[in-house]
Amino acid sequence: MIASTNVTDRYGRRIDYLRISLTDMCNLRCVYCMPEDMRFRPSEDLLQDDEVLHLVRLFAEMGFRKFRLTGGEPLIRENVTGIVEGIVRTPGVEAVALTTNGVLLKHLSRPLQKAGLQRVNVSIDTLDPLRFRKMTRWGNLEDVLAGLDAARQAGLGIKINAVVVRNYNDRADVVDLARLTIENPWQVRFIEVMPFGSVADFQRSHIVSESELRQTISEALGPLTLLDDGRLDGEACMYRIEGAKGSLGFISSVTKPFCAACNRARLTPDGKLRLCLLKDRELDVLSLLRTGVSDRTIQASISEAIWHKPWGHELARDDFPRHRVMSEIGG
């Protein structure tokens, strides 16, 4: 076992947050995420349950403290609650969260909370049922709202993620979502759409900037106050509507990159370690694991990859990831 408890990259950033994608599959087909005829990997190519937990142990020994399960849709993974429980019990792990489209939360909130899950980020791009269907191609908003309610009743911490897409949900929908924070102690986060692989043209032509969003919201709901002197909460810049119980977060990876504060690494569903969401370079950790090399060797390779974590993305130079779409990486 490696005794060191800090993994830093060559720029001095401490990397201690791992996002694990449990599957590339999904029960929705959001227009900004994947093509409608998306093809998925065979399950034997994916990290198996014991492999996920083995890697979590190695990362926790190296000083990783926060873990998030994502996908694709993590709740369609069989035994997701068992995986959560295994991660929670791993020595060194301090926080376990999950990002979901919420469709299956109605039934899974309570078991997940019992397994030790602390927080869920639920993706809801609009509160309008028809526009929700249009954005997810076949989703039913009622399922997600029922899931959100179940998460609240189970006592899970809740954040809401909305990706804003020009001409789909950039006006009244954004205001309706922001209004939720007036009565609920939630963080509603607006995410700028990022370009990936075969969907990049659509994504780049439908982006809405943070400044435009803030203007739309403040015209409807009053001035927004910047919180924490502009310090980021994770990747989000935080604001509050006057008198609101919750807050608004803006994740503007394209127009206001937060690369200097990035503390994260990602495991793709097929077991590749990816150090920047928006760069294609990866380390094939699953193959290392399956060839049976020692834990020490795997940890040394991970440390080396982290040391070379890219400084940040280069979307401004039209350098965007071409080999995978978002659901194949883990958002």
CA dist 78 and 149 (Å) reads 23
Shortest distance, position 264 Cβ to ligand SAM, whole Å = 13
Total residues at interface with ligand SF4 (CB under 6 A) = 13
CA dist 170 and 168 (Å) reads 6
Which of 153, 29, 190 minimizes the C-alpha distance to 101? 29
- Residue 291, classified by CB atoms within 10 Å of its CB into exposed (0-12), middle (13-18) or buried (19+), is exposed
Span near ligand SAM by CB under 6 A; candidates 50-58, 188-196, 275-283, 286-294: 188-196
Residues within window 66-85 making contact with ligand SAM, judged by CB under 6 A: 70-71, 73
Residues within window 120-179 making contact with ligand SAM, judged by CB under 6 A: 123, 161, 163
Kindly write out the interface string for residues 33-52 of this chain, putting x where it contacts ligand SF4 by CB under 6 A and - elsewhere. xx------------------
- The crossing angle, in degrees rounded to 10, of helices 295-307 and 49-61 is 70
- Considering CB distances under 5 to 8 angstroms, the limit depending on partner class, which of ligand SAM, ligand SF4, none binds residue 191? ligand SAM
Residues within window 82-141 making contact with ligand SF4, judged by CB under 6 A: 101, 123
Instruction: Answer yes or no whether residue 302 interacts with ligand SF4 by CB under 6 A.
Output: no
Instruction: Answer yes or no whether residue 246 interacts with ligand SF4 by CB under 6 A.
Output: no
CA dist 224 and 239 (Å) reads 6
Which residues in 275-288 are b (16+ Cβ under 10 Å) and which e? Answer: bbbbbeebbebbeb
Residues within window 280-319 making contact with ligand SAM, judged by CB under 6 A: none
- Considering CB distances under 5 to 8 angstroms, the limit depending on partner class, which of ligand SAM, ligand SF4, none binds residue 268? none
Contacts of 230 (CB under 8 A, 6+ apart): 237
Instruction: Answer yes or no whether residue 29 interacts with ligand SF4 by CB under 6 A.
Output: yes
Q: What residue has token string 């873990």?
A: 67
Q: Which is nearer to ligand SAM, 1 or 95 (CB)?
A: 95
Q: Which two tokens stand for residue 320?
A: 């965007």
Instruction: Answer yes or no whether residue 199 interacts with ligand SF4 by CB under 6 A.
Output: no
Handedness of CA 255, 178, 327, 59 (dihedral sign): positive
Shortest distance, position 140 Cβ to ligand SF4, whole Å = 12
Contacts of 109 (CB under 8 A, 6+ apart): 120, 147, 150, 151, 153, 154, 156
Residues contributing to the site for ligand SF4 (CB under 6 A): 26, 28-30, 33-34, 71-73, 101, 123, 326-327
* Binding residues vs ligand SAM (CB under 6 A): 26, 32-33, 70-71, 73, 99-101, 123, 161, 163, 191, 193-194, 196, 203, 326-327, 331
